Amino acid sequence: MELEETPTRLRSKPTWLISKAAVRAHRLIGEAMAASGGRAYHFAILATLDEFGPDSQARIGQRCGIDQSDMHTMLKELIEQGHVARTSDPNDRRRNLIALTRSGRQRLTELDATLSGVQRDLLNALSTTERDHLAALLVRVLE
């Protein structure tokens, strides 16, 4: 997309700019994750388990914003890869918990590095301060 060929009225609309930036970010993330044999959902799930600890499939999906049908598929992949384990909840044997494994922690570190590279590529025109400011502004918009 040639931004200078875009009508000024569009370029002046933050919603249009956010949408175009999101499309570009999604493409870059998809390419980088595919090259590393992962998915963005894998990173989200592993990061959630790392930060919040073992939890139910439903709660992890809620925290990540992942639909339950997609959650089932992503967890199946992560379990098969040995990055997460399904265990019985010691407080309620009818309930399963998903837990991060040692392999999952290593994979999270790898995927985090991959995504950090995408951030640098996507935001290379901004200084570190500007990137931090942009992130803070986007958090405010989403809250």
Report the half-sphere exposure of 82 (CA within 13 A, side-chain side). 3
Q: pLDDT digits over 15-45, tens only?
A: 999 999 999 999 999 999 999 999 999 999 9
Question: Considering the entire predicted model, what is its pTM?
Answer: 0.86
Q: Into which CATH architecture does domain 39-124 fall? A: Orthogonal Bundle (1.10)
pLDDT at residue 1 in the model? 59
Q: pLDDT digits over 66-109, tens only?
A: 998 899 999 999 999 999 999 988 888 888 899 999 999 999 99
Q: Average pLDDT for residues 111-122, to the nearest whole number?
A: 95
Q: Which of 80, 50, 85, 81 is nearest to 64 (CA)?
A: 50
Domains of the chain by residue range: 39-124
